[in-house]
C-alpha cells in the first residue's frame, strides 16, 4: 500500500479538502484525486464522500483512518530505527487539552515548538469539557484526571494537586469552614457533572466536597471562569494548584481546610491510543512538553 497515498488520505480526512491536502504534499489537485481514487479501489471502499460543494469522511473512512495513521507511524518508526527520517518531522498533529491549562502553559510554548519543527502542522482542540480521544481521532491529548481507560497509553506530565480555596472577602462575609461537613452550608462553585471529591485528614474519616448537597451552587465548565468567579467572592471552589498558585501567592485567594487532602491523586497525563509504535510527531511533542513543563513545574515555585 502506497504510504504517500495514506498520508494524503489522512490529511484530507483532517482538513476535508483533497486539493489542499495534495498541495501540502506537493501533488496537483488532479493527481491528489487520482491517488485517493486508487487507494479506495485498493481497499474496496469509498473513504471520502465528494460533491461539488464539500468533502466528508465516510463511515468506512472513519473506520480506516486509525489504521492509516498506524501504518504511517510504523513507517516512521522503521526509518527512525535505521537512523533515517529523523530530520523531518511532518504531518498534522491533532492535540486536545484542557483550555485553562493550555492557555497558561502550552500556548506560550507553541512558537518555540513550531520553530523547531517547521514542517509539522499543529491542530489544537482546547476545551475544559470532557472529550473522547478515540472518537475525536486525536493523536495525543492532555487530561488532568485519574487515568482509568485501558484502551489508552499514557506518560505522566506532572502531579495535579487540588485544593479548596476562596477569596478573603467571601470568607469574611460567610466565615471559614473548619470541617468538610460545614461546606454544605456554604456557597460552592463546581464543574458540571462533578462527582463528590473525597477529603482526608490524618487520623480522621474521609469527608467529601459535594456541591450537589449545597443549596447555593454555581455550575460551570471552564477553569479560568471558575477561578475568576472564586476571586470575585462568589464562593468556595476546588482548583488545581497550577491554576491558582499566583492568586494564592498574592492573596487574591486563600486556602480553605488546608489540613485536608484530596483522597484521589489525579495527575496531568499525556495520553494516546494504544499502538505498537508511537509516531515521531507524537513522540517529539510529548518530549517537548515534559522537558518544558513537566520538569520545571512552574506553578510550584510560588506555592503557599
3-state secondary structure of 256: strand
Residue closest to 161 by CA, chosen among 63, 82, 241, 259: 241
Answer with the residue of higher pLDDT: 135 or 102: 102
224-276 per-position pLDDT tens digit: 999 999 999 999 999 999 999 999 999 999 999 999 988 887 888 998 877 65
Task: Report the range of poorest mean pLDDT among 63-67, 164-168, 206-210.
Answer: 206-210
Q: Give one DSSP letter per residue of 270-304, joined into a string.
A: EEEE--SS--HHHHHHHHHHIIIIITT-GGGTT--
Terminal-residue alpha carbon distance, the chain: 57
pLDDT at 129 over 50: yes
| Average per-residue pLDDT for the chain | 85
Within a 10 A sphere around the Cβ of 225, how many other Cβ atoms?
15
Look up residue 111 and give its three cell numbers.
Answer: 512558537
User: Cα(84)–Cα(256) distance, rounded to whole angstroms?
Assistant: 55
pLDDT of residue 304: 39
Q: What is the DSSP letter of 135?
A: T
Look up residue 184 and give its three cell numbers.
Answer: 454544605
Answer with the residue of higher pLDDT: 144 or 260: 260
pLDDT of residue 301: 45
User: Cα(33)–Cα(115) distance, rounded to whole angstroms?
Assistant: 31
| 64-82 average pLDDT score | 78
92-101 per-position pLDDT tens digit: 888 999 999 9
User: Cα(211)–Cα(38) distance, rounded to whole angstroms?
Assistant: 56
pLDDT at 86 over 70: no
pLDDT at 87 over 80: no
pLDDT at 22 over 70: yes
pLDDT at 150 over 90: no
3-state secondary structure of 13: helix
Which residues, in sequence order, are CB contacts of 112 under 8 Å at separation 6+? 292
Q: Which residue has the cell 489537485?
A: 29
Look up residue 205 and give its three cell numbers.
Answer: 474519616
Q: Do domains 91-160+266-304 and 162-262 have the same CATH topology?
A: yes
Beta bridge partners of 246: none
pLDDT of residue 302: 42
3-state secondary structure of 141: strand
Is residue 161 a contact partner of residue 209, using CB atoms and an 8 Å limit?
no
CATH number for the domain whose boundaries are 1-87: 1.10.10.10
Task: Report the range of poorest mean pLDDT among 4-8, 150-154, 183-187.
Answer: 150-154
CATH architecture assigned to 162-262: 3-Layer(aba) Sandwich (3.40)
Q: What is the DSSP letter of 195?
A: P
CATH architecture assigned to 91-160+266-304: 3-Layer(aba) Sandwich (3.40)
pLDDT of residue 300: 57
User: Cα(137)–Cα(90) distance, rounded to whole angstroms?
Assistant: 18
pLDDT at 78 over 90: no
Q: Which residues of 78-90 are buried (b: 16+ CB within 10 A; e: fewer)?
A: eeeeeeebeeebb
Domain residue ranges of the chain, discontinuous segments joined by +? 1-87, 91-160+266-304, 162-262
Amino acid at each position: 500500500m502506497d504510504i504517500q497515498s495514506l498520508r494524503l488520505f489522512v490529511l484530507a480526512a483532517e482538513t476535508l479538502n483533497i486539493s489542499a491536502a495534495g498541495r501540502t504534499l506537493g501533488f496537483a489537485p488532479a493527481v491528489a484525486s487520482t491517488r485517493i481514487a486508487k487507494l479506495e479501489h485498493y481497499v474496496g471502499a469509498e473513504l471520502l464522500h465528494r460533491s461539488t460543494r464539500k468533502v466528508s469522511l465516510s463511515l468506512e473512512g472513519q473506520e480506516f483512518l486509525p489504521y492509516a495513521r498506524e501504518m504511517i507511524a510504523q513507517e516512521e518508526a522503521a526509518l527512525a530505527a535505521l537512523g533515517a527520517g529523523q530530520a523531518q518531522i511532518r504531518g498534522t498533529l491533532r492535540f486536545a487539552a484542557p483550555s485553562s491549562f493550555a492557555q497558561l502553559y502550552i500556548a506560550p510554548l507553541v512558537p518555540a515548538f513550531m520553530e523547531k519543527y517547521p514542517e509539522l502542522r499543529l491542530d489544537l482542540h482546547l476545551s475544559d469539557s470532557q472529550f473522547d480521544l478515540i472518537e475525536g481521532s486525536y493523536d495525543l491529548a492532555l487530561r488532568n484526571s485519574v487515568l482509568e481507560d485501558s484502551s489508552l497509553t499514557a506518560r505522566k506530565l506532572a502531579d495535579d494537586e487540588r485544593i479548596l480555596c476562596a477569596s478573603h472577602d467571601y470568607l469574611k462575609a460567610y466565615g471559614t469552614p473548619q470541617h468538610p461537613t460545614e461546606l454544605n452550608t456554604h456557597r460552592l462553585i463546581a464543574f458540571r457533572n462533578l462527582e463528590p471529591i473525597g477529603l482526608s485528614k490524618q487520623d480522621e474519616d474521609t469527608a467529601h466536597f459535594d456541591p450537589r448537597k449545597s443549596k447555593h451552587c454555581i455550575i460551570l465548565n471552564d477553569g479560568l471562569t471558575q477561578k475568576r468567579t472564586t476571586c470575585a467572592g462568589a464562593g468556595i471552589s476546588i482548583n488545581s494548584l497550577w491554576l491558582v498558585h499566583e492568586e494564592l501567592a498574592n492573596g487574591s485567594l486563600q486556602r480553605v481546610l488546608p489540613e485536608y487532602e484530596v483522597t484521589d491523586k489525579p495527575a496531568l497525563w499525556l495520553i494516546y491510543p494504544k499502538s505498537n509504535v508511537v509516531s515521531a510527531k507524537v513522540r517529539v511533542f510529548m518530549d517537548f512538553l515534559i522537558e518544558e513543563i513537566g520538569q520545571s513545574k512552574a506553578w510550584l515555585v510560588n506555592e503557599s
